Amino acid sequence: MFRLSQYMREVLHPTPLKTPRKPSGPVVIWNLIRRCNLTCKHCYTTSADIDFPGELMLGEIYQVMDDLRDFHVPVLILSGGEPLLHPDIFAISRRAKNMGFYVALSSNGTLITPANIDEIAEIGYQYIGVSLDGIGETHDTFRRKQGSFAASMDGIRLCREKGIKAGIRFTLTQDNAKDFPAMLQLMDDEGLDKFYLSHLNYGGRGNKNRKDDAAFKMTRQIMDSLFEACLSWERQGLHREVVTGNNDADAVYFLHWVKENYPDRAEHVEAKLRQWGGNASGVNVANIDNLGNVHPDTFWWHYDLGNVRDRKFSEIWRDTSDPLMAGLKARPRPLKGRCGSCRFQAICNGNTRVRAQQIYADPWQEDPGCYLHDDEIA
Ligand SMILES: C[S@@+](CC[C@H](N)C(=O)[O-])C[C@H]1O[C@@H](n2cnc3c(N)ncnc32)[C@H](O)[C@@H]1O
Ligand code: SF4
């Protein structure tokens, strides 16, 4: 995940380079349930409104949470399917908060209603991210449910009324790029705290529908508008969080933008980006699926590292006898093709390995989603 707004602040108000703090443990994205009331075209969990047998029981979830705390995991992102369909979501969330985790909820927002908003507010999630993949009909078509845009907006507004930090996650494809300016406008109209641009990743239905991925030229235009919006929000003192996911080449593209627009800040921003170090799958980002399988990140559901019913998460995560984990944790990673020869490996860290694996059947091949031109990486 590339924290664009953080680096935009470095452009406007540089801060000294300090030795970076090593995270205490990985951020864990936990798909507690696979059931969902929507069936989005791109969904990596291939969710639907059916029961998926064999999911972790409450007692097992609590045992895993204890292990995660002992392993110093700082952040739990509770996801699904739709996490609000989990019968124990509030009990799990409350316990996680009491254990000291930073707890975020990743929801489609349609099930945040006047009936449950008080309980949601009382839990004290540090952040609620709601997916919005366009405005009105665009979103409803993408998410394959009429009325879902209106329901998600109602959910977001309820969160804002209760003072909960809330924002939107937008997954970019050819189908919804045209709505991008309106999505940025929505941030202003609704006074939202965070915008997450998610590039399409090739997992589940997102892999089946990967032909819908935005073309490179389109992605570059969208990134340019995001940079301008982020800069304008910073200048207005709004300090919104703007982050991007599933394409660490965004950081390199941003560096080129800085070189072009703020050349005297480029060296500083480059040093800060090198400290960040790019893609963190298998290192500082982890995933546990609904069945308890552990993956290097959410888009590797076709590749299990182990199951928390057999082995503790903390053991699975440290075990580099798995070749994928060994490669992901290596610095530099054993990259090939364009990624192997890229000048900015230290910033991007080889981007999204699952796309390479899905296209070339080799996780170390170049990421086919890198939209940088050859002369920008040479
Ligand atoms: C799987 S959903 C679960 C939470 C909730 N149901 C929702 O839709 O927000 C988590 C996030 O992943 C995003 N997502 C799903 N499949 C994706 C893919 N193939 N590439 C990129 N993002 C994806 C969704 O849009 C959503 O923002
Ligand atoms: S992306 Fe979220 S809302 Fe859409 S089907 Fe998947 S889990 Fe459900």
Residue 51 has pLDDT above 90, yes or no: yes
The pLDDT of residue 21: 87
pLDDT tens-place string over residues 289-318: 999 999 999 999 999 999 999 999 999 999
Proportion of the chain above pLDDT 70, given as a percent: 100
* Residue 303 CA, distance from chain mean position: 19
Taking residues 17-30, what's their average pLDDT? 94
Q: pLDDT band at residue 20, thresholds of 50, 70 and 90? A: confident
Taking residues 82-88, what's their average pLDDT? 98
C-alpha 47 to ligand 2 mean position (Å) = 6
The pLDDT of residue 89: 98
Strand partners, 31: 79
C-alpha 43 to ligand 1 mean position (Å) = 6
Helices and strands: H and E segment counts in the chain: 17, 10
Q: pLDDT band at residue 212, thresholds of 50, 70 and 90? A: confident
The residue whose CA is least distant from atom 7 of ligand 2 is: 81
Taking residues 206-235, what's their average pLDDT? 95
Q: What is the DSSP letter of 264?
A: G
From 33, 38, 111, 209, give the residue whose CB has the most ligand 2 atoms within 8 Å, as the site to mutate. Answer: 38
C-alpha 260 to ligand 2 mean position (Å) = 38
Q: pTM of the predicted model, to two decimals? A: 0.97
Taking residues 244-256, what's their average pLDDT? 98
Query: Residue with structure tokens 């995560």?
Result: 317
Contacts (Cβ under 8 Å, ≥6 apart) of 175: 134, 138, 141, 142, 212
pLDDT tens-place string over residues 146-180: 999 999 999 999 999 999 999 999 999 999 999 99
CA distance 260 to 227: 13
Query: Residue with structure tokens 């809330």?
Result: 166
Q: Which fold has domain 4-332?
A: TIM Barrel (3.20.20)
- Ligand 2 atom nearest to 81, measured from its CA: 7
Ligand in closest contact with the CA of 34: 2
Amino acid at 17: L
The pLDDT of residue 357: 97
Maximal C-alpha separation, the chain: 57
Q: SS in 3 state form for 115-184?
A: CCHHHHHHHCCCEEEEECCCCCHHHHHHCCCCCHHHHHHHHHHHHHHCCCCEEEEEEEECCCHHHHHHHH
Proportion of the chain above pLDDT 90, given as a percent: 97
pLDDT tens-place string over residues 53-76: 999 999 999 999 999 999 999 999
Ligand in closest contact with the CA of 247: 1
pLDDT tens-place string over residues 255-297: 999 999 999 999 999 999 999 999 999 999 999 999 999 999 9
Q: pLDDT band at residue 211, thresholds of 50, 70 and 90? A: confident
Judge if the beta carbon of residue 129 lies within 6 A of ligand 2: no
The pLDDT of residue 193: 92
The pLDDT of residue 45: 97
Domain boundaries, the chain: 4-332
Taking residues 111-117, what's their average pLDDT? 98
C-alpha 24 to ligand 1 mean position (Å) = 26
C-alpha 91 to ligand 2 mean position (Å) = 22
Helix, strand, coil distribution of the chain in percent, nearest 5: 45, 15, 40
Judge if the beta carbon of residue 39 lies within 6 A of ligand 2: yes
Ligand 1 lining (C-beta closer than 6 Å): 36, 42-45, 79-80, 82, 106-108, 131, 169, 171, 198, 200-201, 203, 206, 246
